[in-house]
């Protein structure tokens, strides 16, 4: 008997839960929605219900879904050839390199491609350690409340609770965690009520007293862990400290790059030139997996005479590069960097209004089309609704309840421990932006009812 299409769709979720792993969760109870199609700022499930993609999936579908030019570029490359090993040159590799030279910070002159942000950060770790192998400067500073990936090195850099289940047996040595520029929950404010960038200056103390520090990695705007926009002067001070002590500064722009914050890259807001920049996600608009590690000339020159001990089978994959080539052109031709900045003003204004209206909202933050709403059950004490142990135990969080209600109303909003990450496609219309914010506004009544 020929299997009916509708019957197969009904079995899809069951097969996925039985035979594949769900990420960052206990497997019991995983019941994923089955997605059938996507277009523009929307995706559709197998019951034909449409959802506004208000977080660009995992903050990566910057160009929306169904972009014709990217799809055609992928197809055209497949018509030529689908793969060659990375030891060969390809026209598409050269084209992407030339485009990167136009949009990346001017300090970055040489590029290494991978398949994910995790891979890009692994490459950065190895690059720092290879560069300073004679000096034995192998340690790397990373901030708490950060996320840099899930593989051995990148999870060690990560400063949130996802590191804790594997910290004792899986992580690498030589990672030192520092204080993030999280002004709303600054651990130093009890003694220093006025911001004096002590969180930045502490890194000078770390470098001098820890010893053998070769690199420091920062998310210029913290992504998953709350869209933390640093105070003015923070990144500049970090750049000063790293330069003074010959420490390589790594900017993790996996999430904050590609117009998300209203500039090509978040560091551009503060005129900071990193030694290494890592990125992924928006480089292809998530149409195909691709990541990038870009380095400055000093590092590039070093490897002219020293062995670059790193590589991947799919490094510089021509089909993924074809997607990137088309995506970067789309950002330019559609003027999406400026559009993100202008639409971001509307997002920021509405978030402030939402904060005023809801007693369960402790803080809102945004830059470009990148925003967060942080929930608390006591504004005065800044008491969160949930703690990370509850997330690891698989308990339903307050943000789960609110985002579930939003999904019922046809809006997908990514939620984390106590906040929502708002990162709609850069092609979103004003009407769609209003729809997403109106829905969140209404659903926050759930958390308001639970305020102490």
> Where is 12: in which H helix or E strand?
helix 5-19
Tokens 């789960």, residue located:
400
Residue 7 banded pLDDT, cuts 50, 70, 90: low
Nearest to 294 by CA among 306, 282, 280, 284: 280
Rounded CA separation 282/327 (Å): 8
Length of the chain (residues): 452
Nearest to 227 by CA among 357, 380, 53, 415: 415
Nearest to 363 by CA among 192, 183, 243: 183
Residue 1 banded pLDDT, cuts 50, 70, 90: very low
> CB within 8 A of 356, min separation 6: which ones?
none
Residue 3 predicted with pLDDT over 90 = no
Q: 319, 76 in Cβ contact below 8 A?
A: no
Residue 326 predicted with pLDDT over 90 = yes
Residues 373-421: tens digit of each pLDDT: 999 999 999 999 999 999 999 999 999 999 999 999 999 999 999 999 9
The CATH label, of 3.40.50.300, 3.60.15.10, 2.60.40.10, 3.90.1150.10, for the domain at 33-66+336-448 is 3.90.1150.10
As a whole number, mean pLDDT of residues 143-151 equals 97
0.75 surpassed by pTM:
yes
Coil vs helix vs strand at 26: coil
pLDDT of residue 17: 94
Please give the structure tokens belonging to residue 110.
């040489």
Residue 191 predicted with pLDDT over 70 = no
pLDDT of residue 192: 61
Q: 120, 254 in Cβ contact below 8 A?
A: yes
pLDDT of residue 187: 87
What stretches of 329-408 adopt beta strand conformation (E)? 361-366, 371-375
Nearest to 176 by CA among 150, 214, 133, 147: 214
As a whole number, mean pLDDT of residues 309-332 equals 98
* Domain range summary for the chain, segments of one domain joined by +: 33-66+336-448, 68-333
Nearest to 56 by CA among 399, 279, 286: 286
pLDDT of residue 305: 96
Instruction: Provide the percentage of residues in the chain whose pLDDT is more than 90.
Output: 93
Output the CA torsion 238→244→247→250 (10° steps): 30
Residues 231-246: tens digit of each pLDDT: 999 999 999 999 999 9
In the CATH scheme, what architecture does the domain 68-333 have? Answer: 3-Layer(aba) Sandwich (3.40)
Tokens 């967060």, residue located:
372
On average, the pLDDT of the chain sits at 96
Please give the structure tokens belonging to residue 447.
């958390």
Residues 100-119: tens digit of each pLDDT: 999 999 999 999 999 999 99
Residues 361-377: tens digit of each pLDDT: 999 999 999 999 999 99
Quick one: how far is CA 16 from the chain centroid?
25
Residue 9 predicted with pLDDT over 90 = no
DSSP letter assigned to residue 217: E
Q: 338, 426 in Cβ contact below 8 A?
A: no
Nearest to 141 by CA among 252, 253, 218, 205: 218
Residues 216-225: tens digit of each pLDDT: 999 999 999 9
DSSP per-residue codes, 414-443: EE-SSEEEE---TT--HHHHHHHHHHHHHH
Tokens 């559609």, residue located:
334
State how beta strands 419-422 and 414-415 pair.
antiparallel
Tokens 């559009």, residue located:
339
Output the CA torsion 263→268→269→274 (10° steps): 140
Helices (H), 358-396: 388-393
């Amino acid at each position: 008997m020929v299997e009916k299409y509708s019957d197969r769709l009904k079995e899809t979720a069951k097969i996925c839960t039985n035979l594949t792993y769900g990420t960052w969760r206990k497997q019991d109870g995983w019941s994923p929605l089955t997605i059938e199609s996507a277009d523009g700022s929307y995706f559709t499930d197998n019951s034909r219900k449409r959802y506004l993609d208000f977080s660009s999936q995992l903050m990566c579908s910057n160009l929306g879904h169904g972009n014709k030019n990217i799809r055609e570029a992928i197809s055209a490359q497949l018509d030529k050839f689908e793969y060659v090993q990375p030891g060969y040159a390809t026209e598409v590799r050269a084209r992407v390199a030339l485009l990167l030279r136009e949009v990346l910070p001017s300090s970055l002159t040489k590029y290494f491609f991978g398949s994910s942000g995790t891979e890009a950060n692994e490459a950065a770790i190895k690059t720092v350690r290879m560069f300073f192998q004679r000096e034995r400067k192998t340690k790397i500073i990373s901030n708490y409340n950060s996320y840099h990936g899930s593989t051995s090195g990148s999870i060690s850099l990560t400063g949130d609770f996802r590191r804790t289940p594997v910290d004792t047996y899986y992580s690498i040595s030589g990672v030192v965690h520092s204080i993030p520029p999280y002004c709303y929950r600054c651990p130093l404010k009890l003694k220093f009520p006025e911001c004096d960038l002590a969180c930045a200056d502490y890194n000078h103390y770390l470098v001098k007293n820890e010893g053998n520090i070769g690199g420091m990695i920062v998310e210029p705007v913290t992504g998953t862990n709350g869209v933390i926009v640093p105070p003015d002067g923070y990144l500049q001070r970090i750049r000063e400290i790293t330069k003074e002590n010959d420490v390589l500064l790594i900017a993790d722009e996996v999430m904050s790059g590609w117009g998300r914050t209203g500039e090509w890259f978040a560091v551009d807001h503060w005129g900071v030139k990193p030694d290494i920049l890592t990125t992924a996600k928006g480089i292809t608009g998530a149409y195909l997996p691709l990541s990038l590690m870009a380095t400055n000339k000093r590092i590039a020159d070093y490897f002219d005479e020293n062995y670059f001990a790193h590589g991947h089978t799919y490094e510089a994959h021509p089909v993924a590069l074809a997607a990137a080539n088309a995506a970067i052109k789309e950002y330019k031709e559609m003027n999406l960097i400026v559009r993100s900045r202008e639409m971001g003003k509307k997002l920021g204004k509405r978030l402030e209004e939402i904060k005023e209206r809801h007693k369960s909202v402790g803080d809102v933050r945004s830059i470009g089309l990148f925003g967060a709403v942080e929930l608390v059950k006591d504004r005065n004490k800044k008491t969160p609704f949930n703690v990370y142990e509850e997330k690891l135990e698989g308990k339903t969080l307050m943000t789960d309840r609110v985002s579930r209600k939003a999904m019922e109303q046809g809006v997908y909003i990514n939620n984390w421990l106590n906040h929502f990450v708002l990162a709609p496609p850069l092609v979103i219309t004003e009407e769609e932006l209003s729809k997403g914010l109106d829905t969140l506004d209404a659903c926050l009544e759930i958390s308001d009812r639970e305020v102490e």
